[in-house]
Amino acid sequence: MKILVLLVFILLNISLSKEILTEDKLKNFMTEDNPNIYSILGKKYIYKAKIKYFKGNFDTKLKASYEEKNYPISKGKYYDFFIEKPIFYGFDLKAGYRYAEGVQEYNNIKTSKEGEAVIGLSLPVINLISQIDIRRLNLFKARNFYKNVDFETKDKLRKFYFKVLKTYYKTVFYKKVFKLEKQLLEKAKKRLKFIKRKIEEGLLPQIYLVEANQHIVNRRQRLLKAKNEYQNSLNELLTLLNLNKEEFNKKYTLPEDLKLPTLNISFEEALNIAKQNRPDLFQFKYQMKILNLEEKYYRLLSYPNINLDMYMTKDFKYDYGFKFVLNADYYIERRKYLGKMVEIKKGKALIKNKYDSKIMQINVKIKNIFNTLKTLQQNIQNAKNEVSLVQKLENAERRKFILGRSDLFYLNQREIYTLKTIKKYLYYKFDYIVNYKKLFIELGVF
């Protein structure tokens, strides 16, 4: 007896030492250590690296070259080294040293034996006026693509978290059903003892023993099915949380019941919150920003492309020298410009229509959830009343059976129907909780 008490005490302590895995604690597993989470976040890090790549277009560049030739009728030597630094709006600053001797193959540069220092500036005139260039465009696009992907990531996390929540509450539901099936089996076992005693007293025929055993076999099958559903749902949850079963069994336990939350928000309030919080809606904002800057840049195609290069040299033996270069080109047909403007215009229209379509979808989803929650509230109350009634009928049938005024078949049917009704009541609660959580996930609050 002492050993039994000690065993119960130990088991009770183990049970009490376990932590209840509440909904709030689920977010503790939403970290990058979870492969399910990193697979969502990975794309974001790739686009963050792209920003650094396009920043590299503004890096200082060191250039050097060396040429030496010895042809039958000409000789020459040329070498230089320069530092090039992009400044702003396409401007490039160039400074360095060069030396030229003899006849050069690709230019007519000549220097003294001491060589010369060179400083130059490349000025894209139209880029200066418009205050934009391809380097800034690419960097701006990279930054906004990153922000766009960041909100895309948050949207995927939103959907993933709902999947976790749904699986979590489904597992709690199946745990409760598993417990009810155990209780149903215990009723049959308890009744078997009662029947055996009545048969020994000669008050019941032997056939009752066969029927009672058949009920036990049936309920064991039901229990195995319920256990399988619970275990499968638990495995799915642990996979989503990246939590192994041994650690879960050692540290955690699930809640015993489904607690109904209270909805204290109107449809209009919900829709406004969704417009302010939904991460997928913010994606359209950054997609539009990219097209706006692309439009600003590609409008330059409607103007001549004018580049002004200026160089100043200082030969270390002779005097200063200067060089000015003006280059210009212009597309007469302007098909590139016209085609790009149409592309951008249609792109903007597409983004706007996608945004409007998304708002309509959100509107319908939120409205449907509100309708579902309202219906479920009524069904929960009706099912709760029905549970109370069927339990009274079951208890009455049990008393009749004990008094010999009913048979085992009807009592078994009453117990099965009571369990079925309780399961229906629990499922309505589960469905209500899931839709309640889905509402706030749809609002972008998670």
What is the pLDDT, as a whole number, of residue 130? 85
Phi/psi of residue 435, each to 5°?
Answer: -70, -35
Q: Please enumerate, as own/partner, the contacts of 386-391 that have beta carbons within 8 Å and a separation of 24 or more.
A: 386/421, 386/424, 386/425, 387/418, 387/421, 387/422, 387/425, 390/414, 390/417, 390/418, 390/421, 391/418
Burial class, 53, CB count within 10 angstroms (exposed 0-12 / middle 13-18 / buried 19+): exposed
Kindly report the pTM of this predicted structure. 0.85
| Tokens 């023993």 found at | 209
Burial class, 18, CB count within 10 angstroms (exposed 0-12 / middle 13-18 / buried 19+): middle
What is the pLDDT, as a whole number, of residue 238? 97
What is the pLDDT, as a whole number, of residue 446? 79
User: At a CB cut-off of 8 Å and minimum separation 6, what does 3 contact?
Assistant: none
What is the pLDDT, as a whole number, of residue 128? 83
CATH code for the domain defined by 19-53+136-290+343-442: 1.20.1600.10
Distance between CA 406 and CA 399 in Å, rounded?
Answer: 9
Q: What is the pLDDT along the chain (446 residues), one digit of tens a residue?
A: 555 545 544 544 544 578 999 999 999 999 999 999 999 999 999 999 999 999 999 999 999 999 999 999 899 999 999 999 998 788 899 999 999 999 988 888 899 999 999 999 998 988 888 888 889 999 999 999 999 999 999 999 999 999 999 999 999 999 999 999 999 999 999 999 999 998 988 888 999 999 999 999 999 999 999 999 999 999 999 999 999 999 999 999 999 989 999 999 999 999 999 999 999 999 999 999 999 999 999 998 888 989 999 999 999 888 899 999 999 988 888 898 999 999 999 999 999 999 999 999 999 999 999 999 999 999 999 999 999 999 999 999 999 998 888 899 999 999 999 999 999 999 999 999 999 999 999 999 87
What is the pLDDT, as a whole number, of residue 161? 96
What is the pLDDT, as a whole number, of residue 250? 94
What is the pLDDT, as a whole number, of residue 167? 97
What is the pLDDT, as a whole number, of residue 175? 97
Per domain, the residue ranges of the chain are: 19-53+136-290+343-442, 59-131+304-332
Distance between CA 103 and CA 106 in Å, rounded?
Answer: 9
What is the pLDDT, as a whole number, of residue 404? 86
Distance between CA 408 and CA 213 in Å, rounded?
Answer: 11
What is the pLDDT, as a whole number, of residue 1? 52
